Amino acid sequence: MRFRSPANILLRRAQLVLILAAVVPTILMTATGIILLVVGQGSVAIVAGSLVLAFCTSSLTGFLLGSMFVRRGASLARVQTDFLSSVSHEFRTPITSIRMFIETLRDGRVTDPVEQQRCLRIVGQEMERLDGLVGKLLELSRIEAGRQPFERRPVKVRPLIDEALTGLAAVRMGREVNLEVEVDETLEVLGDKAALGQVFVNLLVNAWKYTPAENKCITIRVYAQKKHVVFDIEDNGDGIPPDERKFIFDTFERGRSAIESGTQGSGLGLAIVRAITRAHGGDVQLIGGTAGACFRVRLPRRTS
């Protein structure tokens, strides 16, 4: 038996009420108005028929608008349900792991001090993972609700990219990668340097994680395009299948290749990238790269 949330049930009932209260009477009154106009005689019948048809038109318009809002409400209810399901799934794994190791230590099933330390280390790692998930969710929630304050200061593009490359270096820890950087150093954007830096660190780390172990290549191109500064970050990985591109920026969404390969991730990085970019008046999209995936970020250009 498939579970249906109370919100969805109420929305279905609202749709039925709208149909019964608006559509059926409107159809009957429309027929009456047409009869008055066609069969009726005199100005009174014409005026009455015209008023009835006008009323029917406004009723039908109200029904269409009401149906649109109901469908939007149903869509939001489904999004909330999916979000809660995703959050529960992401939290369940570390919580289960923590509980298992705590019970193991509590019951004294591990007596070797080395093994005890290993269990405690795993518990600590899982706690850090939970803390990271909660922190990212809170950050994403504040940004999307407009409660995250962002500075609006001139930011030079070259130092922004250099700091993002420093963040990538901390992740790859000396492992080889072919970096190609083409930056117009005269360009500036207006925004919060720390937040924008997080955008490009997230994109670079994703490009690093989802490219082959050998011959990793990441290309960064920054150039002007009318009133915007465009940042293209491209890798030579396997790319993202067309059926996954529509959802890649959604919360907790991860590609099949990432899941099958066991690559660590929470599915929140690209959602945060989109939220920060939009908060700065820009946009981010996945475009067809020459090799793997190419993410394009557009931010308003600062001009003197």
Give per-residue pLDDT as tens, 46-74. Answer: 777 787 778 777 777 777 777 777 666 66
Distance CA 5, CA 10 (A): 9
More confident residue, 72 or 228: 228
Q: Which of 301, 278, 280 is nearest to 188 (CA)?
A: 301
Distance CA 111, CA 159 (A): 52
Residue 261 predicted with pLDDT over 60: no
Distance CA 245, CA 236 (A): 17
Q: Would you say the pTM of this structure is higher than 0.85?
A: no
Helices (H), the chain: 6-18, 24-38, 42-106, 113-144, 157-172, 193-209, 242-245, 256-261, 269-279
Provide the Cα torsion 85, 86, 89, 91; round to 10°: -110
Quick one: tokens of 8? 């969805």
What pLDDT does residue 106 have? Answer: 86
More confident residue, 54 or 84: 54
Residue 31 predicted with pLDDT over 90: no
Q: 82-91, 141-150, 283-292, 295-304 — which is least confidently predicted?
A: 82-91
Residue 34 predicted with pLDDT over 60: yes
The percent of residues above 70 in pLDDT, for the chain, comes to 74
Contact 289, 299 (CB under 8 A): no
Distance CA 184, CA 190 (A): 16
The percent of residues above 90 in pLDDT, for the chain, comes to 15
Distance CA 270, CA 251 (A): 8
Residue 44 predicted with pLDDT over 80: no
Q: Name the β-bridge partners of 284.
A: 297
SS3 state at 192: coil
Distance CA 233, CA 94 (A): 32
3-state secondary structure 248-273: CCCCCCCCHHHHHHCCCCCCCHHHHH
Q: Roughly what angle, to the nearest 10 degrees, separates helices 193-209 and 269-279?
A: 150
What pLDDT does residue 77 have? Answer: 58
What pLDDT does residue 81 have? Answer: 57
Q: Which of 66, 54, 61, 65 is nearest to 30 (CA)?
A: 54
